[in-house]
A and B are shown apart, each in its own frame.
Chain A
Amino acid sequence: MNGMSRIVKTITSIVFPFIMIFGLYIIAHGHLTPGGGFQGGAVVASGCAMILVAYGSVWTMGKIKEKNLSILESIGAICFIILAILGLGFGTVFFKNFLVGSNIIFGIVPSFGSTISNINTAGVIPLMNFAVGLKVIVGLFGIVLIMAYASRRRDNK
């Protein structure tokens, strides 16, 4: 896959930041609006896959090493499990939401019913959203990138 025409590359460069903003918004507001880590991560990963299709797998592989991708994905998984174990340490059980009601970060408890959304709520849920979002972004994009890069050699033969 050697990349597509100049028109496709230009349009991709224009659209790509908006897809990034939309996906990161879905991840960051996972505890307030529909969506969350998995969904926003899928949006961002499909934006990266669009870059991959437009510019070709060789160019993309030159920019990103697959080793860094696996390291980032492991960081996401480890953050998720560490947050769960911290619930065991500071709270009572595994996956305890220990930050709700505290004044550290994300500690405000909203009143019951339909209220004005405050981003500083929901305890560890936003942090877990970030961890899972990082994991899904890197995981899905890594799968697509490696498959595209492996099918490149076979075309040249």
Chain B
Amino acid sequence: MSKRNLFALIFFVIMAVFLFISSLMMHPFGNPEETNMDDEIIENAQIETGANNGVTAVVFDYRGFDTLGEATILFTAVAGVMIIFRRMNK
């Protein structure tokens, strides 16, 4: 076994052990840890934002800055693709 394969095997075993341990420590399905934020959003989202869809209320109102960053990422991706492939078209 070469040195490269040995390192790959060691890395694989370590990652597998970590993932197995973390899967044992997960919360049971359907019983998430209670936080105050989700209750707050569920109770107030319809009144405060007027949207019946709570996910959209969070994405576009409570967490608007995240959506702005997401739009910026998409804009940067399109600009990069247009810059790179413009040279290849002409």
Chain B binds chain A: yes
- Bound-state CA distance A129–B67 (Å) is 11
Is A55 engaged at the interface, CB distance under 8 Å to the other chain? Answer: no
Minimum CB distance partner of A100 in chain B: B50
Contact of B64 among A95, A129, A139, A146 (CB under 8 A): A95
> Is B74 within 8 A of A139, CB to CB?
yes
Do most interface residues of chain B lie in helix, strand or loop, or is the interface mixed? helix
A28–chain B nearest beta-carbon distance, Å:
12
Chain A contacts of B89 at CB under 8 A?
146, 149-150, 153
B62–chain A nearest beta-carbon distance, Å:
9
Chain B contacts of A97 at CB under 8 A?
48-50, 61
> Is B53 within 8 A of A32, CB to CB?
yes
> Is B75 within 8 A of A73, CB to CB?
yes
The 3 residue pairs across chains A and B that have the minimum distance between CB atoms: A95-B64, A122-B51, A31-B51
Residues of A at under 8 Å CB distance from B?
30-34, 36, 38, 66, 70, 73, 77, 80-81, 84, 94-95, 97, 100-101, 106-113, 115, 117, 121-125, 128-129, 132, 135-136, 139, 142-143, 146-147, 149-150, 153
